[in-house]
Copies of this chain bind each other. A is one copy, B any other.
Amino acid sequence: MPSRSSASETHQLPRQRRTYAIGELARMFQITPRTIRFYEQEGLLAPERRGQTRIYQDKDRVRLKLTLRGKRLGFSLAEIRDVVMMYDAMPDGNARQLKRLLEILADKRANLERQLEDIRLMHRELDDVESQARDVLANLEPTTVER
């Protein structure tokens, strides 16, 4: 029984609290434990265990954060895993692997550029649609007070 849970547990500095339970992480990121377990099964996370129970460190939390960000950008879990695993294997990776990694990174980067352009274009579209909608709306209720 570690005596680490003293009275100082209430002030929530994210310093000392190095470890997280699966439920905590789930709440932090608005996802379900099932999702986190699934990511582990897919090789994106590899938390320690205390008995059966998973113990997550800060690095695991960061990894999860990066994973979710990648997902929001439309990358598949497999793509994300590839980059993450190669990143971890970097120190003792061979030259071929590293060059492969650089290729993948260039690829992702190009993808991001396309998305930036897409966002710009989409933004204009939305502007157009919105202003048109406002026009129609104004003509529909020239004096109506919305009641």
Contacting pair B87 A140 (CB below 8 A)? no
Contacting pair A130 B105 (CB below 8 A)? yes
Q: Which residues of B contact A91 (CB under 8 A)?
A: 136
Q: How far is the CA of A129 from the CA of B121 in the complex (A)?
A: 29
Instruction: Please tell me how many copies of the chain the complex holds.
Output: 2
Contacting pair B74 A137 (CB below 8 A)? no
Q: Which residues of B contact A105 (CB under 8 A)?
A: 126, 129-130, 133
Contacting pair B123 A112 (CB below 8 A)? yes
Q: Which residues of B contact A17 (CB under 8 A)?
A: none
In the complex, the chain B residue whose C-beta lies closest to that of A129 is B87
Q: How far is the CA of A108 from the CA of B108 in the complex (A)?
A: 23
Q: Which residues of B contact A23 (CB under 8 A)?
A: none
Contacting pair A115 B73 (CB below 8 A)? yes
Beyond A90-B132, A98-B137, list 7 extra A-B contacts (CB 8 Å).
A72-B114, A73-B74, A87-B129, A87-B132, A90-B136, A102-B133, A105-B130
Closest CB pairs A-B (n = 9): A74-B74, A98-B137, A98-B133, A69-B118, A112-B119, A105-B130, A105-B126, A72-B118, A101-B133
Q: List 13 A-B contacts (CB under 8 A).
A: A66-B125, A69-B122, A72-B115, A72-B118, A74-B74, A87-B129, A91-B136, A95-B140, A101-B129, A102-B133, A112-B123, A115-B115, A119-B119
